[in-house]
Structure 1
Amino acid sequence: MYKSKLEFETVDITTIKCDCIVNAANRTLLGGGGVDGAIHRAAGPELLQECRTLNGCKTGQAKITNGYDLPAKYVIHTVGPVYSGSDSDVLNLTSCYRNSLDLAKNRNLHSIAFSAISTGVYGYPFDEAAMITLETTAQWLVNSPDYQMDILLTCFDDRVYKSYVNYLKNYTGNNEYLKKIS
């Protein structure tokens, strides 16, 4: 019935061959620690050169570059919120996923791998981030029934993986994409 896919696994995002990967970037887009640094190192110096031309990125927004030495053709850079417990955190994290998916669709890309945005040094609690991530990506697929998109949520460790599993274990909604992976 659904041609698109939503799944998650523990895997190094820099090794995934797909149309685009999503980098949990900082506002400068000039590299940093965690997944941001790993993506910049794996892509090579050309990624930093291109990022310098983008004039940074606001929290919740997304910008795209080439993938360079990565197996992915493109990198979508999105800036997640630094967790503060405010309502704006939820809105900004939701926007990161939605804007990244919209940007991929606008570029006619059909496979995307996300890092666990804001769950590293930005301190977003894993369980809260898992709920936002899964609900936002699954709802985007429902809202785009005529567009083929394969979404992979990458987990950098067992804490992220378990947060997805725990959310799906308790999921009682009717989104078919979330029912399929639970």
Structure 2
Amino acid sequence: MHELIAWSGFVGAWLLVAGPLYQAAVELDEQGERRGGVTRAARQTAPQPPLSPWWWLLPPVAYLLQRRRQRAYRRQVLDALTAEEVEGFVEFTSVATGWAMVAAGAFFIAVKETYELAEVYVWPVGVFALLLVVMLAACAANTVVRVRRAHALVEAKAAAPSDRAADPA
């Protein structure tokens, strides 16, 4: 019975990882057209000149200067956006951040459940680490495959002649 519970926790935890990853991809894909303004504004905004490599002799100073440059560039890009584009960008980043937090939390639960499964079977740490990598890759692959299939289905339907146009009823 202990093994069944360990496997149930393992599978459930990884489903909790796969679900938010997939949902994030679906929702962010739906909002994709709202990112167009940011892309346009970024192309119109001149990038900051590169930081002199000499500053890296003083890493904390170089880091602060680089952060200041990045902040100025982001401010220029945001200034080039319309109010609607800023609203879309804020909504997009909020959704992305929310789903990333849910997926990260689920991943930590999955790490715990995977470790407990490895303890039940007394697997070495290498097997535990490999299982984490394989399961995370499987969750990501599931998302990619499902999103691509959905796009292919929509594109195929859009390219096919409409069945209703031929039906006079």
TM-score bracket, shorter-length normalisation? under 0.3
Higher relative contact order (CA 8 A, sep 6+): 2
Structure showing greater Rg: 2
TM-score w.r.t. length of structure 1:
0.25
From the two aligned structures, give the one with the greater helix fraction.
2
From the two aligned structures, give the one with the greater strand fraction.
1
